[in-house]
Structure 1
Amino acid sequence: MTVLSETGVSRWIRRFHPSGGARARLVCLPHAGGSATAYFPFSRAAAEAVPDVEVVAVQYPGRQDRRGEPCFDDVGAMADAIADDLRRWADLPLALFGHSMGATVGYEVARRLEVRGTPPLGLFASACRAPSVHRIEYVHQRDDEGLIAALKELSGTDAGVFGDDELLRMVLPAVRGDYTAVETYRHRPGAEPSCPIQVLTGDRDPVTSLADAGAWHAHSTASTAVEVLPGGHFYLHEQLPRVLAVVAARLAEWRPGNPPG
């Protein structure tokens, strides 16, 4: 899908439901192995639930319409490229929503936007431990069968993909690249974002403990709040109405001219 903004074609951003009356733009970053279309249901529901917020989604290279491009295997390099592309979308105030790996990438994008003098309204960090919480993991070094097993454990991949061996083998390079990026990521000390952070996590998430989620408090000079919802690592699918309610409430607080929460 080719998407046009006012300043031309965007390699990184996909807009499924344009909003002429939007007062803010929510940039959504997918999980490891995910694509922009993972946020299509989110975007469709938000168009009704939060009509003054336009949802756009990041398309990482190495999948779907960018399948011919090499994958990024470094979070910092990916954040650099996304922050560069977001300049053309800054006609509206931007907020960031990242799920799992997307939250880590979103955090690094927020740091870069801050340095450039255009900090986001805020960051929604979903199903992701804080950047400073490091776990030694080697999923990216597994063979293909081990990588597939990891995807099944988290239940974040469309079940139909597992029944289509050709399709599954096609997406594995992107999955491996993403896992390499997130598992080799190390938080670098430096200025933290000045925007508030809203953390969302499932109460049965096998990879993000409540302590890991709470550690996001160290990564903003503004306020940080944690919302715990029923579900596992991909609680987002079942809890979409509640997530959108949190998004709407926080963006109402974060927009210029509104009182802080």
Structure 2
Amino acid sequence: MSIDEGSAELWVRRFHPGGGGGGGGGGGVRLVCLPHAGGTASSFFSYSRILAAYADVLAVQYPGRQDRRHEPALTSVDALVEEIYGVLRAYDDVPLVLFGHSMGGILGFEVARRMERAGRPPLGLIVSGRRAPDLYAGEDVHTRGDQALIAEMSALSGTDPGVLADEEILRMVLPAMRADFTAIETYRYRPDGPLAPLRCPVSVLTGESDPRVGLEQAMAWRDFTSGPFTFRSFPGGHFFLTPQQDAVTAAIAEDLSRLAQSAVR
């Protein structure tokens, strides 16, 4: 797939100059951040500011939201992965580490599989707030009415309550939210064979009281790589990334430093 420069700029945001080709710090790697369902590139703004000392930090902007709100949102993981994989070809001149939260974790995993099949593997994958790919919970929020979708957003505590209370803003964000829930709730892992689907290192981060991801469900990611596996849990629920920002960014910085060292051996 060939992605022109304009298309790449639609999908990718660089909020802060950083290491690994973006100017500034000396990480020598590029961290690609993939948001949760209904999320935006800007949800990683504060993470980018902190982690720019360790990597060139990019955040992916899915269609259908913010400055891409006039584009139709994509409703399948396959379609999102196809686009993201193509876009990242413009950025793989520096070793890539994929970091995804919730739905973004599955997107990172499937993009990593595509990269490995193409002989251009990522340096590593960091998954946050997501159970292993073959574990399903029978969720069907995407088939229900708007109020059920709003209730799910509220229960996960990942959306500003002010947004949920503002009917005008809700009308703008609900279509993208429903598209994302459709994509992740209809996703099914397709194994390539009996071997672990990834060879790159995988690091998993999870909230100890996440109502959607149990600790064992998160730990089950260990079966999806033949490479090194790291597991860390933090106090908090599904969106532990916000209250635990200092601890989580320290953990990611540790991963980035270790991966950068492995890249130059």
Q: Does 1:172 align with 2:171?
A: no
* TM alignment of 1:178-193, pairs within 5 A: 178-190=180-192, 192-193=197-198
| d(CA) in 1 for partners of 2:121, 2:262 | 16
Q: CA deviation at 1:168?
A: 0.8
> What SS is found at the alignment partner of 2:58?
strand
Q: Letter of the aligned partner of 2:13 in structure 1?
A: R
Amino acid at match of 1:235: F
- C-alpha distance in 2 between matches for 1:98 and 1:26: 10
Q: CA deviation at 1:167?
A: 0.5
CA distances 1:67-99 after superposition (whole Å, capped 9, x unpaired): 111111110111111010001111211101100
**2:115 corresponds to:** 113
Q: Mapping of 1:94-243 within 5 angstroms?
A: 94-190=96-192, 192-243=197-248
SS of residue paired to 1:226? strand
Query: Aligned partners of 1:149 and 1:44: how far apart in 2?
Result: 31
One-letter identity of the residue aligned with 1:156: G
For the aligned residue pairs, the C-alpha RMSD in angstroms reads 1.7
Moved more, 228-237 or 241-250: 241-250
What's 1:16 paired with? 15
CA distance in 1, matches of 2:57, 2:263: 20
Give every structure 1 segment of 4 or more consecutive aligned residues whose post-TM-superposition deviation is greater than 3 Å.
6-9, 256-260
Q: TM-score, normalised by structure 2?
A: 0.91
How far off is 1:134 after superposition?
1.4
Paired residues in the alignment total 252
Q: What is the rounded CA distance, in whole Å, between the counterparts of 1:80 and 1:221 in structure 2?
A: 24
TM-superposed CA distance for 1:251, in Å, is 1.6
TM-score (norm 1): 0.92
Whole-angstrom CA distance in 1 between matches of 2:145 and 2:43: 25
Deviation at 1:258, TM superposition (A): 6.4
Note if 1:39 corresponds to 2:38. no
Q: Match for 2:167: what amino acid?
A: D
Deviations 1:195-222 (A, max 9, x none): 1110000100000001110110111111
Shift, 1:10, TM fit: 1.9
State the alpha-carbon separation in 2 of the partners of residues 143 and 133 from structure 1.
25
Alignment partner of 1:74 is 2:73: no
Deviation at 1:164, TM superposition (A): 1.3
Q: For 2:153, what is the secondary structure of its paired residue?
A: helix
Which letter does structure 1 place at the counterpart of 2:154? K
In the alignment, structure 2 segments of 5+ residues that lack a partner are none
Deviation at 1:58, TM superposition (A): 0.5
How far apart are the structure 2 equivalents of 1:258 and 1:86?
Answer: 18
Contact 1:252–1:258 at 8 Å: present in 2 too?
Answer: no
For the residues of structure 1 that align with 2:236 and 2:113, how far apart are their CA atoms?
30
User: Does the Cα contact within 8 Å between 1:125 and 1:198 map onto a contact in 2?
Assistant: yes
Equivalent residue of 1:31, what SS?
Answer: coil
- The letter for the 2-side match of 1:230 is P
Where does the alignment leave 5 or more consecutive residues of structure 1 unmatched? 1-5
